[in-house]
Chains A and B, each alone.
Chain A
Amino acid sequence: MGAPGGGRWDFLEFTLATGGLRPPNLRVHLVIFYTLVVLLGILSMGFQLLASRLLNPFFGSSLIVWAWLISTFLAAFSVGSILGGWISNAPTSQRIRAQWIAGAVAVGSLAFTAFFGRAVLGQIEIAFTEITTGLLVACLGLFFLPVTTLSSFGPQCVQFLAGRGTPPGKASGLVYGVSTLGNIAGVMLTAFVLIPHLPVSTLLYLWLGVALVNLSCLIILLRPDQPALSP
């Protein structure tokens, strides 16, 4: 099996070809699937830039702020991946329940940050005069939970592909490769298009809306009764 070629469908063809699938229905499924994975990546890393803008008025824009912010997001990616791995291998009923809980927590915590983030930061700033402690509390309180729960869907996406015939290594590579492309898109789009034109509060509401739609679709797509992407 060679690497994807030049045509715009070749990437999908490549994946589809791994199991000799039935187009076009499954193609549509795959397009939706990878779109949702890209959106997951966009949501995670774009949120990091929005988080920095939220923190700046309260903690400045120093290296200390960025160190805590990046560490928080990496910790959330780590915990989210482990959590997602656990959910992936849970029995079906538990898995479905865990997916809905993770989705609800992601949306709920994003909503909390969008609606109450600034007020909470104001209180944290008063309560903790030591900047490092304040940042730790702020990052954990406002950003850790949404990113952890968003990240938990990565391994589940891998399991989704692997459970439908794609070899696990290839499934993992595809999901994390596509998700990382989403990360890049999230950073560039947020930095060069969204932040220059829209208020951060509006962008947080946008993130909330996109997360709601994205996770709902993903949870539906990840249902065990969905058609196999490869036999």
Chain B
Amino acid sequence: MKLLRLVALGLSISAVLPAADFVENHDTLYNNLTIERRGTVVELRARSRGGEYLESAVDLADPLRLVVQYTRTLFAAALHEPAPKNVLMIGLGGAGFHRVFVHAYPQARIQSVELDPKVFELSQSKMAFKPNARTPVAVMDGRLFVKRNREQWDWLILDAFRGGFVPPHLKTEEFYRECAARMTERGVFVTNLHQGTELFAADLKTMRAVFPQVVLYEVAGRGNVIACAVKYAEPAMSRTPDVAGLKRVYPALAEKVDLAGLAAERIAFPEAVVKNARVLTDDFSPVEFLDALKSNNTNAR
């Protein structure tokens, strides 16, 4: 009987674990992480609420290939601030975005902040990320970093997930104001959102409370929406950015990211959805509840 139970348990575990070249699991301070390898692609997944969410993926044979779809859409920031020199990214993952960024912008620097030291370790040991002077990493809470670091950022990218969950203090009006204070005048705030939940509407309403302009890019078929926001009211964030000029000045970027396709992913701001949403503040941010019907980073499984 015991043996049968063990076999059943083994079968149920194998049903949960994906078929891959290797699978290893880590219980960290903040996550339950799984590293999978499918051919040359290494995936970092986080288990949460009975699901497993793709946090990051890197093709070791071609590290400049953006495997996770939404990381390509994060480059929508280039359509609004085409010449970033100093970028802050909250949330490291496997640093797939970073590799393309430093390739596309050889003179620029991208600072990362990652809460989970194990994620940082795995990004190096399993996903071949080699942090250097242009790609430094700070292991700490993203909001603390923004408060304490006095640099000004041309792009400030918020992509901090704990499994499928976003810490409430990284979703509030006060935090967005702190971010805005650390952005250059032409700087772009970029964040990865999920459609189809009340949190999405509240997120947009909160961003609008801080940033005069917010535009959205939809990641095709994934449920992710990348929001880009700026501190200036004028000029309007162009619907027809100078993609040709961008290609000419940054050919390495154009080589890796379909900029015209990216510009075409822009969607209208859902005014009707946002109208009745509440602004999230440090005093009121029931993120977990608004996010109850949420999807995940990519829905890819």
A1 proximal to B (CB < 8 A): no
CB-CB under 8 A for A56 and B284, given A62-B141, A125-B147: no
Chain B 151-182, CB within 8 Å of chain A: the 1/0 string?
Answer: 00000000000000001110010110000000
Instruction: Give Cα A198–Cα B285 distance, bound, in whole angstroms.
Output: 9
CB-CB under 8 A for A57 and B175, given A62-B115, A195-B286, A198-B284: yes
Number of residues from B at the complex interface, CB < 8 A: 23
A61 touching B148 by the CB < 8 A rule? Answer: no
Instruction: Give Cα A131–Cα B289 distance, bound, in whole angstroms.
Output: 28
CB-CB under 8 A for A60 and B168, given A131-B144, A199-B283: no
Instruction: Give Cα A60–Cα B148 distance, bound, in whole angstroms.
Output: 13
Nearest B residue to A198, CB-CB: B284
CB-CB under 8 A for A199 and B30, given A56-B167, A60-B141: no
A62 touching B283 by the CB < 8 A rule? Answer: no
B29 proximal to A (CB < 8 A): yes
B48 proximal to A (CB < 8 A): no
Nearest B residue to A134, CB-CB: B144
A61 touching B172 by the CB < 8 A rule? Answer: no
**B119 CB, min distance to chain A CBs, angstroms:** 13
B30 touching A63 by the CB < 8 A rule? Answer: yes
CB-CB under 8 A for A62 and B284, given A56-B169, A57-B174: no
Nearest A residue to B142, CB-CB: A60
A158-216, CB < 8 A from B:
195-201
Number of residues from A at the complex interface, CB < 8 A: 19
Chain B 266-301, CB within 8 Å of chain A: the 1/0 string?
Answer: 000000000000000111111001000000000000
**A219 CB, min distance to chain B CBs, angstroms:** 32
Instruction: Give Cα A199–Cα B283 distance, bound, in whole angstroms.
Output: 5
B289 touching A196 by the CB < 8 A rule? Answer: yes
Instruction: Give Cα A68–Cα B160 distance, bound, in whole angstroms.
Output: 23
Per DSSP, chain B at the interface is loop
**B149 CB, min distance to chain A CBs, angstroms:** 12
A25 proximal to B (CB < 8 A): no
B143 proximal to A (CB < 8 A): yes
Q: Which chain B positions have C-beta within 8 A of A199?
A: 281, 283-284
**A11 CB, min distance to chain B CBs, angstroms:** 33
CB-CB under 8 A for A196 and B168, given A59-B141, A60-B143, A62-B30: no
Instruction: Give Cα A197–Cα B278 distance, bound, in whole angstroms.
Output: 11
Q: Which chain A positions have C-beta within 8 A of B283?
A: 199-201
Chain A 118-134, CB within 8 Å of chain B: the 1/0 string?
Answer: 10000001000101000
Q: Which chain A positions have C-beta within 8 A of B281?
A: 199
Q: Which chain A positions have C-beta within 8 A of B284?
A: 198-200
B168 touching A56 by the CB < 8 A rule? Answer: yes
Q: Which chain B positions have C-beta within 8 A of A59?
A: 141, 144
B94-126, CB < 8 A from A:
115
A57 touching B289 by the CB < 8 A rule? Answer: no
Q: Which chain B positions have C-beta within 8 A of A200?
A: 282-284
Nearest A residue to B162, CB-CB: A61
Q: Which chain A positions have C-beta within 8 A of B169?
A: 56-57, 60-61
Chain B 16-53, CB within 8 Å of chain A: the 1/0 string?
Answer: 00000000000001100000000000000000000000
Instruction: Give Cα A125–Cα B145 distance, bound, in whole angstroms.
Output: 12
Instruction: Give Cα A63–Cα B167 distance, bound, in whole angstroms.
Output: 12
Instruction: Give Cα A118–Cα B169 distance, bound, in whole angstroms.
Output: 14
B172 touching A57 by the CB < 8 A rule? Answer: yes
Q: Which chain B positions have C-beta within 8 A of A197?
A: 286
Q: Give 19 new A-B contacts, CB below 8 A, not counting A60-B167, A198-B284.
A: A56-B168, A56-B169, A56-B282, A57-B169, A57-B172, A59-B144, A60-B142, A60-B169, A61-B169, A62-B29, A62-B115, A62-B141, A63-B29, A118-B282, A129-B148, A131-B140, A196-B286, A199-B281, A199-B284
The 6 closest A-B pairs by CB, nearest first: A60-B141, A56-B169, A196-B286, A199-B284, A199-B283, A196-B289
Task: Give 20 CB contacts A-B under 8 Å.
Answer: A53-B285, A56-B168, A56-B169, A57-B282, A60-B115, A60-B144, A60-B169, A61-B168, A61-B169, A63-B29, A125-B147, A129-B148, A131-B140, A196-B286, A196-B289, A198-B284, A199-B281, A200-B282, A200-B283, A201-B283
